[in-house]
């Protein structure tokens, strides 16, 4: 009889443990970033984001639509609204529009992104010791998200925004800025569903075992002995 009662008890305990786990808020690390002066980091907005920085950090929410134009260690393209994603330690950039020419060099600790100019018509040349991916920004719309800034971390609620919404992080200072990005998950829906299923299964197994043990059969009215 004790052996019969053991399976539903184990299922009930496992379901209860998973239920408690699913209701505990959890944080996952999205990235540990280094932003050099004048550079960006672009992070997809998901759940509730927590930003921890060791200095002044500019944060913007944008609904972005990007089209890849070119990639390689050296590129030369005509673009309207460029975004450069750099995976290297240095970048030499030249942007020209008719007779106006603008050039600058950048140095990175862990790569980064650049939006060097506003929308227009630009001849862009860039070279790096690593990989460059050039995108054309086809959409760059403001998003009215819930952004809470205090003396500590910055919290951004992303639950009500579209899947094209990104956090645009910018370093306005002259010194490198270290930013830790976390995603705060309120409820683990997957674990919650499994835990409820296990608890229901434990109750059904217990009821079935009780019916067998009491001699009433698995179903109501089904006896173990035939009538004479």
Contacts of 224 (CB under 8 A, 6+ apart): 215, 216, 217
Q: Give the 3-state secondary structure of residue 97.
A: strand
CA distance 111 to 87: 5
Q: How many CA atoms within 13 Å lie on the side-chain side of 12?
A: 11
Q: pLDDT digit string (tens) for 185-198?
A: 655 555 556 766 66
Q: pLDDT digit string (tens) for 86-110?
A: 999 999 999 999 888 999 999 888 8
CA distance 86 to 111: 5
Residues 25/161, Cβ–Cβ less than 8 Å: no
Q: What are phi and psi of 121, to 5 degrees?
A: -125, 115
Name the percent of the chain lying above pLDDT 90.
30
Alpha helices per DSSP H over the chain:
2-23, 189-213
CA distance 109 to 36: 8
Is the confidence at residue 3, as pLDDT, over 70? no
Q: Which of 162, 208, 177 is nearest to 109 (CA)?
A: 177
Q: pLDDT digit string (tens) for 8-63?
A: 666 667 666 655 555 555 567 778 899 988 888 999 888 788 898 988 888 888 99
**Cβ neighbours, 10 Å, residue 4:** 14
Q: pLDDT digit string (tens) for 14-29?
A: 666 655 555 555 567 7
Q: Give the 3-state secondary structure of residue 100.
A: strand
Q: Give the 3-state secondary structure of residue 145.
A: coil
Q: What is the pTM of this model?
A: 0.67
pLDDT at 220: 44
Residues 136/84, Cβ–Cβ less than 8 Å: no
Residues 49/155, Cβ–Cβ less than 8 Å: yes
User: Is 114 buried (19+), middle (13-18) or exposed (0-12) by CB count in 10 A?
Assistant: buried
Q: pLDDT digit string (tens) for 147-195?
A: 777 667 888 888 777 778 899 999 888 888 999 998 876 555 555 567 6
């Amino acid at each position: 009889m004790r052996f019969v009662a053991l399976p539903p008890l184990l299922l009930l305990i496992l379901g209860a443990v998973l239920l408690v786990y699913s209701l505990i808020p959890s944080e996952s690390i999205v990235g540990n970033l280094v932003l050099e002066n004048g550079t960006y980091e672009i992070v997809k907005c998901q759940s509730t984001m927590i930003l921890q920085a060791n200095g002044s950090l500019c944060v913007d929410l944008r609904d972005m639509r990007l089209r890849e134009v070119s990639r390689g260690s050296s590129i030369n393209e005509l673009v309207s609204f460029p975004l450069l994603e750099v995976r290297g330690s240095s970048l030499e950039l030249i942007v020209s529009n008719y007779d106006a020419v603008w050039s600058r060099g950048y140095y990175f600790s862990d790569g980064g992104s650049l939006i060097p100019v506003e929308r227009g018509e630009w001849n862009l040349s860039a070279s790096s010791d690593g990989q460059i991916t050039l995108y054309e920004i086809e959409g760059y719309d403001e998003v009215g998200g819930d952004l809470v800034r205090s003396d500590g971390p910055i919290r951004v609620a992303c639950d009500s925004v579209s899947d094209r919404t990104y956090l645009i992080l910018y370093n306005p200072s002259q010194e490198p800025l270290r930013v830790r990005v976390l995603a705060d998950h309120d409820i683990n829906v997957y674990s919650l569903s499994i835990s409820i299923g296990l608890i229901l299964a434990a109750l059904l197994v217990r009821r079935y075992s009780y019916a067998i043990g009491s001699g009433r059969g698995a179903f109501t009215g089904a006896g173990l002995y035939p009538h004479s």
